[in-house]
Chains A and B, each alone.
Chain A
Amino acid sequence: MTDGAKQKETPAGLASVEAVTQMLAGTGYIATPEIATAVYLAHHLRKPVLIEGPAGVGKTDLARSVALGLEQPLIRMQCYEGLDESKALYEWKYGKQLLYTQILKDKIGHLVEDADSLDEALHKLTGFQDIFFSRDFLEPRPLLKAMEQSTGSVLLIDEIDKSDEEFEALLLEVLSDYQVTVPEIGTIAAQVPPLVVLTSNATRELGDALKRRCLHLHIDFPDADLEARIVRTRVPEVTERLLERLVDFVQAVRGENIRKLPSISETIDWARTLILLHADSLDPALVRSTLNVILKRQSDIAEVAGKVEALLVGGDKAGR
């Protein structure tokens, strides 16, 4: 691969780390320097980014925002147990193949009509191209589709940790060489390598081979400042006063001993909820009645409900 050719294709949004930050900000995604650097390097080193971190911190959203910012299609593949190549790479259109054989039956019969022996008929048939196993009968699945985009694309492989280990191995060819091999046709290489984003919730440890091929990005819960900026972008209606108290409270809740910590998406949901309820500040009763928006486990809700006052005061102090 020549660096010169690559450089020419660099979209404006990927020209520098700052450009990436700005491009993402334009789509409403507030990126930390780590995130922007990872996206920048992903393009320039032509490597996939593996994003790990707790649920709801914006892993999937990053891919969506990059696609939006670059004005490229987002091709998404959700992983799950039992996902295999026929669902990820390609599949033959069996139905169409069957239908065509039926329709072309007469035509084929006509072709081999004047052959005397079976051998000769077979010989005649092999003279033609393998029509039934050609591109026309190939159903591209997400990975192949991403290779075929002439404008470039963002390929999101979501929750890779949910897939089986065999599937990881399957991904290796796609991720390191940006090509897909279909035995009947040959190797299909990407015209423009897609920008690949993998996300993982770490329900299982990923294989080393996969990790080595990726850039690694860990997104954690944001600090209060960043979280406030994110909520402000996503929920512009929120008043500064409410925003500050709400973020402080959520930050305080993350310090508690609970099973499922609230993440940014929950904070945003909560902000929206409070707007709908016309709240402009937090009081213990209001917090208690809307606690189920940020906490998803009954035991967690019970745990925090008993401490709402203390957490509100604590958050207050931290905020001043």
Chain B
Amino acid sequence: MERTLTRYIRALRSAGAGVSTTEAMDAARTVDVVGWADRGVLKTALGTVLAKSVEEKAIHDQLFELYFSREAASAAAAEGQTGESGDPDTGRPGDGEAGADPQPGDADGGEGGEGGDPVEALAALAQGKNPGQLAMALERAGAAAGVDEIRFATQSGYFVRKMMETMGVEALEARLMEALSRRTPEGEAEAEGLIGTRSALQKQARAFVEARFEIYGRSAQDAFMNEILAERSFGALGRSDTERMRALVERMAKRLAVRHARRRKVKDRGRLDVRRTLRANAGHDGVPFDIVWKIKRKDRPKIVAVCDVSGSVAQYVRFLLLFLHALKEKVTDLETFAFSAHLADVSRPLETLPFETAMRAIVDEVGSGGTDYGAAFLELDRDFGEVIDRRTTVLVLGDGRSNYSNPRLDVFKQIADQAKRLVWLCPEPATNWGSGDSCLLEYRPFCTLLTQCSTVTDLERALDEILMAYD
């Protein structure tokens, strides 16, 4: 039973819930205390010991069901086997002749205690008359094939085949070939039966492998997919990636939030806070036992995002806004403006409506017409100039392609002077800056930072850098 627990912990780890050694020991003690008998109690008990956050709890609950329902099945199988033919591992009574069987490719003898022909034994298994024995055989074949190492769904075919081979399917196939080559009605009938057996076994093995994949492989595959996605350009994302991307963005945002939510103040050692020191020591007759130092408070990050939502950049803006939105709760004061031909304050729809609906409304409102950066900056400065102060980072997202209109560098400079920092994220690679109608190079001298941002990793780096300025 101890093995059951350690393997369960291994499964938890591969599912992405960190379990330390201490926690594993706690889990063992927990099992000592509550016992194996009541599954409900065991589940909640292990949940409190092994999972240390809501997310980990969810992983745990799901995996517990997956894992222990299987565990229960194979335990039942073990019992059935024991009752029938003694210890399954040591003796195989009545299996003596099987070893001498002339069938080629008889690797493992017959499974179970049926004795005689391994192919007959397989057929008996496949008919499912004895589910315990079948589960046992699958379990053993699974262990031999190393199914627990599965990482990707695409590997399941390989593992199914390996399991089948371990169970002795080659003997069955040889007989199948032989039966077919006889070209007699009896041969064909036999072949049909063998094909049935084979596909029934294959179905069982597949189900077994898929269950294992859910336990050990699913999250590894997810992690791998996320890794790929993080490096893929927003422009190249398909519809099917969007959901996964959202989850990824949320997780990254959470990571950033944790990193930057700490330390909102610094103790400024060296400058005595006389007033508070006197007050703190009034009880000691004014003798300064407790020294109180001045505390410097840090600014809360404040971001004004100005986003180009014209067709060419819209996809990038989605993810930037998604990211900022996810950060908002924790770290930042956020004002969002969207523009194409003219500029609008879109903070409110983003806050109140579901994200997708809000995005659609925004694009409908301002997304049409030729992009005009100069006009947008002018409107920003004229109508919303007061939101930009010395604590503000102005974050511009756009390709700087302004359809040859006046870039209004004077206004842009004024905005840059007013703000703490001005960061420009451009989806295009640096080689394209300044080509055609792009006026990025003209804006560049006024930016604190101008960087390419086309993948979610770029985005995370850029936002990390912005938040860093407030640490």
Which residues in A have some Cβ–Cβ distance to B below 8 Å?
17, 33-34, 37-38, 40-41, 44-45, 47, 49, 52, 81, 86, 94-95, 98, 165, 204-205, 211-212, 214-218, 257
Smallest Cβ-Cβ distance to A43: which chain B residue:
B33
Smallest Cβ-Cβ distance to B22: which chain A residue:
A212
Query: Please, which residues of chain B bring their CB within 8 A of the CB of A47?
Result: 26
Given contacts A17-B41, A45-B30, A218-B54, contact A38 B48 (CB under 8 A): yes
Q: Complex Cα distance A17/B53, Å?
A: 22
Given contacts A33-B41, A38-B48, contact A95 B283 (CB under 8 A): yes
A sample of 14 inter-chain contacts (CB < 8 A) reads A34-B48, A37-B41, A37-B48, A40-B33, A41-B30, A41-B34, A45-B29, A45-B33, A165-B262, A205-B258, A212-B23, A214-B52, A215-B49, A217-B48
Q: Complex Cα distance A214/B53, Å?
A: 11
Q: Complex Cα distance A205/B55, Å?
A: 13
Query: Please, which residues of chain B bring their CB within 8 A of the CB of A86?
Result: 290
**B1-52 with Cβ < 8 A to chain A:** 20, 22-23, 26, 29-30, 33-34, 40-41, 44-45, 47-49, 51-52
Which residues in B have some Cβ–Cβ distance to A below 8 Å?
20, 22-23, 26, 29-30, 33-34, 40-41, 44-45, 47-49, 51-54, 56-57, 258, 261-262, 265, 283-285, 287, 289-290, 352
Given contacts A44-B33, A212-B23, contact A33 B44 (CB under 8 A): yes
Nearest CB of chain B from residue A102's CB, rounded to whole Å: 11
Nearest CB of chain B from residue A45's CB, rounded to whole Å: 6
Query: Please, which residues of chain A bring their CB within 8 A of the CB of B34?
Result: 17, 37, 40-41
Query: Please, which residues of chain B bring their CB within 8 A of the CB of A205?
Result: 258, 261
Pairwise interchain contact A98-B48, C-beta atoms closer than 8 A:
no
Nearest CB of chain B from residue A215's CB, rounded to whole Å: 5
CB < 8 Å A-B pair total: 70
Partner of A34, one of B23, B30, B33, B47: B47
Q: Complex Cα distance A118/B287, Å?
A: 27
Partner of A41, one of B33, B54, B265, B289: B33
A17-B34, A211-B53 known, 13 other contacts, Cβ within 8 Å? A38-B48, A40-B45, A41-B33, A41-B34, A45-B29, A45-B30, A81-B265, A95-B284, A98-B285, A204-B258, A215-B49, A216-B53, A216-B57
Nearest CB of chain B from residue A221's CB, rounded to whole Å: 13
Query: Please, which residues of chain B bring their CB within 8 A of the CB of A45?
Result: 26, 29-30, 33, 49
Q: Complex Cα distance A33/B20, Å?
A: 25
Q: Complex Cα distance A71/B53, Å?
A: 31
Q: Complex Cα distance A44/B258, Å?
A: 33
Nearest CB of chain A from residue B201's CB, rounded to whole Å: 41
Smallest Cβ-Cβ distance to B58: which chain A residue:
A218
Pairwise interchain contact B52-A216, C-beta atoms closer than 8 A:
yes
Smallest Cβ-Cβ distance to B353: which chain A residue:
A257
Closest 6 CB pairs of A and B: A37-B44, A211-B52, A215-B48, A44-B33, A205-B258, A38-B48
Smallest Cβ-Cβ distance to A84: which chain B residue:
B290
Q: Complex Cα distance A238/B448, Å?
A: 63
Q: Complex Cα distance A94/B285, Å?
A: 10
Given contacts A33-B41, A34-B48, A204-B262, contact A98 B57 (CB under 8 A): no
Interface centre among B26, B48, B52, B289 (most CB of A within 10 A): B48
Q: Complex Cα distance A47/B23, Å?
A: 11
Smallest Cβ-Cβ distance to A303: which chain B residue:
B352
Q: Complex Cα distance A292/B414, Å?
A: 45
Smallest Cβ-Cβ distance to A18: which chain B residue:
B41
Q: Complex Cα distance A40/B44, Å?
A: 11
Q: Complex Cα distance A17/B262, Å?
A: 38
Pairwise interchain contact A41-B261, C-beta atoms closer than 8 A:
no
Query: Please, which residues of chain B bring their CB within 8 A of the CB of A40?
Result: 33-34, 45
Query: Please, which residues of chain A bring their CB within 8 A of the CB of B287?
Result: 94, 98
Pairwise interchain contact B44-A212, C-beta atoms closer than 8 A:
no
Q: Complex Cα distance A47/B26, Å?
A: 9
Query: Please, which residues of chain B bring their CB within 8 A of the CB of A165?
Result: 262
Nearest CB of chain A from residue B30's CB, rounded to whole Å: 6
Partner of A204, one of B261, B265, B352: B261
Q: Complex Cα distance A41/B44, Å?
A: 10
Pairwise interchain contact B285-A41, C-beta atoms closer than 8 A:
no
Query: Please, which residues of chain A bring their CB within 8 A of the CB of B26?
Result: 45, 47
Pairwise interchain contact B29-A212, C-beta atoms closer than 8 A:
no
Query: Please, which residues of chain B bring their CB within 8 A of the CB of A95?
Result: 283-285
Q: Complex Cα distance A215/B44, Å?
A: 11
Smallest Cβ-Cβ distance to A39: which chain B residue:
B48
Smallest Cβ-Cβ distance to A86: which chain B residue:
B290
Smallest Cβ-Cβ distance to A44: which chain B residue:
B33
Pairwise interchain contact B352-A257, C-beta atoms closer than 8 A:
yes
Query: Please, which residues of chain A bring their CB within 8 A of the CB of B290?
Result: 86
Pairwise interchain contact B57-A218, C-beta atoms closer than 8 A:
yes
Pairwise interchain contact A52-B54, C-beta atoms closer than 8 A:
yes
Partner of A216, one of B40, B48, B285, B352: B48
Q: Complex Cα distance A98/B281, Å?
A: 14
Nearest CB of chain B from residue A142's CB, rounded to whole Å: 19
Partner of B51, one of A17, A44, A216: A216
Interface centre among A37, A44, A217 (most CB of B within 10 A): A37
Query: Please, which residues of chain A bring their CB within 8 A of the CB of B265?
Result: 81
Query: Please, which residues of chain A bring their CB within 8 A of the CB of B30?
Result: 41, 45
Query: Please, which residues of chain B bring their CB within 8 A of the CB of A216?
Result: 48, 51-53, 56-57
Q: Complex Cα distance A45/B49, Å?
A: 10
Partner of A94, one of B53, B57, B289: B289
Nearest CB of chain B from residue A120's CB, rounded to whole Å: 30
Q: Complex Cα distance A41/B33, Å?
A: 8
Smallest Cβ-Cβ distance to A215: which chain B residue:
B48
Pairwise interchain contact A94-B54, C-beta atoms closer than 8 A:
no
Query: Please, which residues of chain A bring their CB within 8 A of the CB of B48?
Result: 34, 37-38, 41, 49, 215-217
Nearest CB of chain B from residue A147's CB, rounded to whole Å: 22
Q: Complex Cα distance A183/B103, Å?
A: 80
Smallest Cβ-Cβ distance to A45: which chain B residue:
B29
